[in-house]
Amino acid sequence: MDTLQGAIDERRAHVAIIGQGYVGLPLAMGFAQVGYRVTGLEADPEKVASLNAGRSYVPDISPAALQEALAQGYAATCDPACLAQADVILITVPTPYTKTKQPDMTYVQQAARAVSAHLRPGQLVILESTTYPGTTEELLLPELEKSGLKAGEAFEVAYSPERIDPGSRHYTLANTPKVVGGMTPRAAQLAAALYGSIVEQVVVVSSPAAAEMTKLLENTYRHVNIALANEMAQLCHVLGINVWEVIEAAGTKPFGFQAFYPGPGVGGHCIPIDPYYLIWKAQESETVARMIELAGQINERMPEWVVERVTDLLNDRGRSLRGSRVLLVGVSYKKDVPDMRESPALRVLEKLHQKGAHLTYHDPFVPSLPWHYGGLESVALTSQTLGSADCVVLLTDHSELDRELLAQYAPVLLDTRNMLQGYRQPNIVRL
């Protein structure tokens, strides 16, 4: 009888998860809830202390859920020695990119070395971090075999991409199908049994590379279609057509069309970054990913286009951008989340500052900006702060923003999210 299979099936297995962020912590809570012993290995000691004190720093995980998991035996630690006690080890660490948009595998390599140093026979290792196809086989596996143990014999390896949509109320870990690719059929079977304990549907593919590529297709699909929407916005502006009306009308087609929307650019820790892992892999494989590269250029230029539109709006009112007071409303990377990673609002802010605008911002989720962005603090959204601006730019359409106030008191407002779609008045201008 396969002891690891039995331990997983009977939920006796000890699961260690490297990285307790927006991916690793929900997984830890999910496995703890169904009875597994779970250890969260986290490099940041402050986060470890916070977790063990029942304080969650991941918006999608409530303190109550964390405290319930702690009562069921979940514990966080900085000590990689915990890996030796685990039956299953999940790696959920960041995969950012460098300044030149090359994959930054630092965290995956560090995790792989830590696992290798504590690897023992009978373990299952699963990588979840979004990465280029081939990472599991070409980077993770050789590092693990430096332990002297042989993959597929002494231990098993699989890949399963995370599919979390931060802030989503509808799609959860449990109701989002989980794709799994194992280095061996047994690895796939073990991983499928583990995830099957917390996810309604597990989709097994033929290899880790297929699973890695599945995730990149999902996010690159968004990247390319958002770029198309952004290019349509620029075309429609020149042609005097309301792009939002066109997208809404196209959306009435019950098949063959999925609506994507223009915006001030693409932020977050996934969509702006993941496609560059694919571009890099294509270059490494002496081939090209032209459409993906072009989509990146289009999306990355959107902050500049927003600044051009602001400049034109001020110019139409006899004002130059230099010396004008511009109020940015909403600076996080998408609605109803506080996350600022790769937020296009920061690039809009930088460009406006470079051109001499006097900047203020309001964001209910972001109380202040780093010193690099002037250390600005969010101002209250009032008739006074709106009325004293020469131009207001709505960059993130947080649900709680007061539409009526914005429409009534902004001298002129560039709406990059069509949040004020119901307002047909001269001071409201759409992307």
Is residue 47 within 8 Å of residue 63, measured between CB atoms? Answer: no
Hey, what are 420's tokens? 């004020």
Q: How far is CA 91 from the centre of its chain?
A: 17
How far, in Å, CA of 338 to CA of 331, rounded? 9
* Site mask for ligand SAJ (CB under 6 A), range 391-420, x = bound: ------------------------------
270 binds ligand SAJ (CB under 6 A): yes
CB atoms within 10 A of CB 206: 11
276 binds ligand SAJ (CB under 6 A): no
CB of 343 to ligand SAJ, least distance (A): 7
Residue 126 or 193: the one with the smaller Cβ distance to ligand SAJ is: 126
Residue choice 40, 166, 181, 330 for contact with ligand SAJ (CB under 6 A): 166
Give the binding range for ligand SAJ (CB under 6 A) out of 196-204, 262-270, 286-294, 386-394: 262-270
Residue 165 or 200: the one with the smaller Cβ distance to ligand SAJ is: 165
222 binds ligand SAJ (CB under 6 A): yes
**Positions in 333-352 near ligand SAJ (CB under 6 A):** 333-334
80 binds ligand SAJ (CB under 6 A): no
CB of 149 to ligand SAJ, least distance (A): 31
* Partners of 315 in the β-ladder: none
Give the binding range for ligand SAJ (CB under 6 A) out of 54-62, 159-167, 187-195, 277-285: 159-167
CB of 226 to ligand SAJ, least distance (A): 4
Residue choice 18, 115, 226, 346 for contact with ligand SAJ (CB under 6 A): 226
Residue choice 209, 271, 327, 428 for contact with ligand SAJ (CB under 6 A): 271
CB of 119 to ligand SAJ, least distance (A): 28
| HEC assignment per residue over the chain | CCHHHHHHHCCCCEEEEECCCCCHHHHHHHHHHCCCEEEEECCCHHHHHHHHCCCCCCCCCCHHHHHHHHHCCCEEECCCCHHHHCCEEEECCCCCECCCCCECCHHHHHHHHHHHHHCCCCCEEEECCCCCCCHHHHHHHHHHHCCCCCECCCEEEEECCCCCCCCCCCCCCCCCCEEEEECCHHHHHHHHHHHHCCCCCEEEECCHHHHHHHHHHHHHHHHHHHHHHHHHHHHHHHHCCCHHHHHHHHCCCCCCCCCCCCCCCCCCCCCCCHHHHHHHHHHHCCCCCHHHHHHHHHHHHHHHHHHHHHHHHHHHCCCCCCCCEEEEECCCCCCCCCCCCCCHHHHHHHHHHHCCCEEEEECCCCCECCHHHCCCECCCCCHHHHHCCCEEEECCCCCCCCHHHHHHHCCCEEECCCCCCCCCCCCEEEC
Residue choice 123, 129, 219, 360 for contact with ligand SAJ (CB under 6 A): 219
CB of 302 to ligand SAJ, least distance (A): 8
Give the binding range for ligand SAJ (CB under 6 A) out of 118-126, 261-269, 345-353, 377-385: 261-269
Catalytic position from the list 78, 82, 236, 270: 270
263 binds ligand SAJ (CB under 6 A): yes
CB of 396 to ligand SAJ, least distance (A): 7
261 binds ligand SAJ (CB under 6 A): yes
Annotation says 82 is catalytic: no
Q: How far is CA 131 from the centre of its chain?
A: 13
Residue choice 2, 165, 284, 377 for contact with ligand SAJ (CB under 6 A): 165
CB of 409 to ligand SAJ, least distance (A): 25
36 binds ligand SAJ (CB under 6 A): no
CB of 176 to ligand SAJ, least distance (A): 8
Hey, what are 33's tokens? 């809830």
Residue choice 267, 296, 303, 330 for contact with ligand SAJ (CB under 6 A): 267
Q: Tell me which residues touch ligand SAJ (CB under 6 A).
A: 130, 162-166, 219, 222, 226, 229, 260-261, 263, 266-268, 270-271, 333-334
Active-site amino acid positions: 270
